[in-house]
Amino acid sequence: MWVFVNDQIVPAEQAVVSAMDHGFLYGIGLFETIRIYQGKPFFWDEHMLRLEQGMTALRIRQKWDRSEIHRAVLATLEKNRLLDAYVRISITGGAEGIGLHSGVYEQPSLYIFVKSVNPIEQPPVTKRLKVISFPRQTQEGHQRFKSHNYLNSSLGKQEVGKTTDIEGLFLTKEGHICEGVVSNIFWVKDKTVITPSVDTGLLAGITRDAVITISHECGFTVEEGFYPLEDLLLADEIFVTNSIQEIVPVSTVENTEIPYVYGKVTRELHEAYRRLVELSN
C-alpha cells in the first residue's frame, strides 16, 4: 500500500507520525471515510464540509483546500492502481510537543489511506445486531466529531469480535437506541422510517443524512427521537448505514428475528441510493 503523507506518496512502512503530533498524543485529529466508485469520490462535498467544520471547531488551520485534497486522493488512488476503493482522509493537529495546546494548530498533518473494496452485492448481505454491554459515551464538546477519539467504537468492536456479519449496537446510558459501532441505524414500523436523534450523541453519518432525504423523496414519513430497545425489537424492518457498505439489512437483534429482512421499504431506499451512485458516475 502507498500512503499520502503531507506532500508525498510513500510506501506504508514509511508513512510515519511524529511522536509529538497531538493527533497521537491527545487525539486531536479528524478523519473521513469515503467510498470511491470508478475513481470518483461519492458525496465529496458533504464529507469535506464535515471535515472543515470539525477543523474549525478543533482550531486546526485549514492548510489544504478541497481541490488540493481531491488531487491528493486521486493521486493516491492512481499510485495504488485502484478505481473502486475505500479512502480514509486524516488530518491531525501536528507536532506541538508535550502538553495541551490552547492556540490554533498552525502546522497540521494530512494522511490519505486507500484500500480496495468488494462490489456491493445484490441483494446486500444481512447483519445481526448485538447490544454492546456498556453505553455510548456522550460527545466531549458541544457536538460529536468524527475524530481520532475512537475508544468507544474500538472497545465495541472488541466485544462483538471479528465476525463480519455482526454489528454492535450502542445504547445511551438512559437506555435509548443510539448507533452501531461503525454505522447509523434505521428501522421501519407501519411504513414510517425511524432513526435516533443526533441528541443521543450519535455521529450523524453522511449516508444517514442521504437516507433521510431519500426517505422523504420516496414519500415516507421520517421520525427522529429517543427510543427504547423494545421499539427496535418490534420493528417490521431494520437496516444500518455507512459510507462504505451503503444500506445493509438486519436479520436479528440479539435473539429476536426481524419479520421482513430486506423488506419493501429497505429495498426501495436501497435502490434509490444505488441510482444516486450510478448518476454520480
Instruction: Give 252's pLDDT tier (boundaries 50, 70, 90).
Output: very high
Q: What is the location of CATH 3.30.470.10 in the chain?
A: 2-116
Predicted confidence at residue 140, as pLDDT, reads 75
Predicted confidence at residue 43, as pLDDT, reads 97
Assess if CATH 3.30.470.10 describes domain 2-116: yes
Instruction: Give 122's pLDDT tier (boundaries 50, 70, 90).
Output: confident
Q: Name 273's bridge partners.
A: none
**In whole angstroms, what separates CA 239 from the centre of its chain?**
15
Q: Which CATH architecture fits 127-280?
A: Alpha-Beta Barrel (3.20)
pLDDT in tens, 150-174: 899 999 999 999 988 999 999 999 9
Mean pLDDT for 105-129 is 91
Q: How far apart are CA 64 and CA 2, in angstroms?
A: 20
Q: What is the location of CATH 3.20.10.10 in the chain?
A: 127-280
Predicted confidence at residue 142, as pLDDT, reads 78
Q: How far apart are CA 132 and CA 158, in angstroms?
A: 10
pLDDT in tens, 88-103: 999 999 999 999 999 9
Instruction: Give 40's pLDDT tier (boundaries 50, 70, 90).
Output: very high
Q: Name 222's bridge partners.
A: 193
Q: Taking the model in full, what pTM does it have?
A: 0.94
Write down the residue that cell numbers 441510482 correspond to.
275
